């Protein structure tokens, strides 16, 4: 039996990698003053039908539950966040800086960088309309990647502004009800043959292609770039109006993070969504908002493809999981004393292991080595002394068993 297509089993090394990524995400998000929250995995399907836009709705894992409710596994967290903020608005001082690491589910065609479940770090600022919030979020996205060891030669943030495209469509008298559909076409244009995009754009095609080729900017984009320059992070970002974002609710600055080589799908994406909370509020709670999400799948691929970053991860993973002390039961009649000392060492916070069944001493040393132990403590003929052996140098010292804890602490 295999897992379903697009779902993963997390074997211990996969879990270690996931924990490493999550720990780094949490550490950096907290550095920026973000606090953690979470929402339900299952939501009413309508939440996404109304808010996420057709692309995500086509990818929902949805069903009717036993109470005849139309429900969906969350494909993203932003509609939940908007719902929660609208409901608890009065309980919190603004701006809110919230982060979360949900597992999300999208029935996508499985391909490199795209699965049917993934984890994403979401970071959002609610209640701040100025470009300072956009800059803070983009700086955070950059710092999250720097914390893994990525540099500006590995990753780039492509910045754009939905306002720029709004102006473009308004000037050409395109009715607002068509904007969302047209923005989706522009968003997909990089991944589709030009003639197909042209056909879908109709009479707008020439103007859109000209704009995509020549580039563009906006006042807000200039402010964001200046903000990143002031923080010394400008080399990580470039303005690129080809970024539009597939989700329906974005209303201003949008951005996506890619590998510089352009080989992988987006590592992260986000932007400003100033109208979503009001749309989900029963009592006219109207708060500006912006945020982004960084997925674990593409990030994991880029870590593996970047030797310095991968080596750093392996060193940290080893340090986090290695056993420190292996207790060797050299004589079975010493087992209960050995286990008692192992327990005391664990109480002191040491990572300690030993052979659960009787095993030859040589075999036990092999286990110690496999587990990465630096020290072995032998319980055998020397009792009431124990032999403390440094496994790297082979140096051994006899220590009275009642002084073992003190010795190890030293
Ligand atoms: P999104 O661009 O749909 O944005 O997803 C964010 C990131 O999640 C992507 O850049 C990608 O790394 C990862 N991701 C998305 N779908 C998959 C998939 N099928 N398999 C693997 N990874 C995937 C959002 O979800 C917005 N809600 C982000 C946001 C937060 N905007 C404002 N606040």
**Position with higher pLDDT, 2 vs 280:** 2
Nearest-5° Cα angle at 164, 160 to 167: 165
Task: Please write the tens of the pLDDT for every residue from 300-324.
Answer: 999 999 999 999 999 999 888 899 9
- Spell out the domain ranges in the chain: 12-39+77-315, 323-409
Nearest-5° Cα angle at 240, 234 to 245: 115
Q: How many residues does the chain have?
A: 410
Supply the pLDDT for residue 50: 77
**Cα–Cα distance for residue pair 189/192, rounded to 1 Å:** 5
Ligand 1 contact, 295 CB (< 6 A): yes
Tell the residue number behind the tokens 């691929």, with chain if given. 301
CA distances from 302 to 148, 150, 237 (A): 11, 9, 18
Predicted confidence band at 55 (pLDDT cuts at 50, 70, 90)? confident
Supply the pLDDT for residue 321: 87
Ligand 1 contact, 300 CB (< 6 A): no
116 Cα–ligand 1 center, Å = 12
Give the mean model confidence (pLDDT) for residues 318-347.
95
Q: What is the mean pLDDT of the chain?
A: 95
Supply the pLDDT for residue 56: 80
Supply the pLDDT for residue 274: 96
Ligand 1 contact, 248 CB (< 6 A): no
Q: Which residues contact 308 (CB under 8 A, 6 or more apart)?
A: 149
12-39+77-315 carries CATH number 3.30.930.10: yes
76 Cα–ligand 1 center, Å = 7
Provide, rounded to the nearest whole percent, the portion of the chain with pLDDT above 70. Answer: 100
118 Cα–ligand 1 center, Å = 9
Give the mean model confidence (pLDDT) for residues 366-376.
96
Q: Which residues contact 73 (CB under 8 A, 6 or more apart)?
A: 41, 42, 60, 61, 62, 104, 105
348 Cα–ligand 1 center, Å = 42
Which residue among 126, 155, 270 is best mutated to probe the pocket of ligand 1, counting the most ligand atoms within 8 A of its Cβ?
270
For residue 384, is the peptide bond before it cis, meaning its omega torsion is within 30 degrees of 0? yes
Predicted confidence band at 260 (pLDDT cuts at 50, 70, 90)? very high
Task: Please write the tens of the pLDDT for every residue from 190-239.
Answer: 889 999 999 999 999 999 999 999 998 999 999 999 999 999 999 999 99
Task: Please write the tens of the pLDDT for every residue from 266-282.
Answer: 999 999 999 999 988 88
Predicted confidence band at 146 (pLDDT cuts at 50, 70, 90)? very high
Task: Please write the tens of the pLDDT for every residue from 101-135.
Answer: 999 999 998 899 999 999 999 999 999 999 999 99
Whether 283 shows a pLDDT value over 80: the answer reads: no
Task: Please write the tens of the pLDDT for every residue from 155-198.
Answer: 999 999 999 999 999 999 999 989 988 998 998 898 899 999 99
Supply the pLDDT for residue 121: 98
Supply the pLDDT for residue 235: 98
Whether 53 shows a pLDDT value over 80: the answer reads: no
Supply the pLDDT for residue 57: 82
Supply the pLDDT for residue 374: 94
Ligand 1 contact, 277 CB (< 6 A): no
Say which CATH superfamily domain 323-409 falls into.
Anticodon-binding domain (3.40.50.800)
Which residue among 51, 53, 58, 76 is best mutated to probe the pocket of ligand 1, counting the most ligand atoms within 8 A of its Cβ?
76
């Amino acid at each position: 039996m295999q897992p379903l297509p697009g779902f993963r089993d997390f074997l211990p090394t996969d879990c270690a990698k996931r924990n490493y990524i999550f720990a780094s995400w949490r550490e950096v998000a907290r550095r920026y003053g973000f606090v953690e929250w979470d929402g339900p995995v299952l939501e009413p399907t309508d939440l996404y039908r109304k808010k996420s836009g057709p692309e995500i709705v086509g990818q929902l894992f949805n069903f009717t539950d036993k109470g005849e409710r139309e429900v969906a596994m969350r494909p993203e967290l932003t509609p939940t966040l908007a719902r929660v903020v609208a409901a608890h608005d009065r309980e919190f001082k603004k701006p809110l800086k919230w982060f979360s690491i949900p597992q999300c589910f999208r029935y996508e065609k499985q391909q490199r960088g795209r699965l049917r479940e993934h984890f994403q770090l979401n970071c959002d600022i609610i209640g701040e309309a100025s470009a300072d919030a956009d800059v803070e979020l983009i700086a955070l996205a950059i710092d999250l990647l720097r914390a893994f060891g990525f540099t500006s030669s590995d990753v780039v943030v492509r910045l754009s502004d939905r306002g720029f495209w709004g102006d473009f469509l308004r000037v050409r008298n395109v009715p607002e009800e068509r904007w969302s559909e047209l923005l989706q076409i522009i968003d997909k244009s990089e991944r589709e043959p030009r003639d197909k995009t042209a056909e879908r754009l109709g009479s707008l095609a020439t103007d859109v292609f000209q704009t995509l080729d020549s580039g563009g900017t906006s006042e807000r984009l200039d402010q964001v770039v200046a903000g990143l320059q002031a923080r010394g992070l400008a080399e990580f970002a470039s303005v690129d109006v080809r970024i539009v974002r597939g989700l329906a609710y974005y209303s201003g600055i949008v951005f996506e993070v890619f590998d510089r080589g352009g080989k992988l799908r987006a590592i992260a994406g986000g932007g400003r969504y100033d109208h979503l909370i009001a749309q989900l509020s029963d009592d006219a709670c109207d708060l500006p908002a912006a945020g982004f999400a960084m997925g674990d799948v593409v990030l994991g691929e880029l870590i593996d493809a970047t030797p310095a970053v991968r080596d750093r991860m392996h060193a940290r993973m080893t340090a986090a999981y290695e056993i420190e002390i292996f207790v060797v039961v050299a004589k079975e009649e010493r087992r209960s004393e050995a286990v008692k000392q192992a327990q005391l060492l664990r109480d002191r916070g040491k990572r300690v292991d030993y052979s659960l069944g009787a095993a030859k001493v040589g075999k036990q040393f092999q286990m110690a080595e496999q587990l990465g132990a630096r020290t072995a403590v032998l319980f055998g003929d020397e009792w009431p002394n124990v032999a403390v052996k440094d496994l790297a140098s082979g140096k051994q010292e006899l220590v009275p068993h009642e002084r073992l804890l003190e010795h190890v602490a030293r």
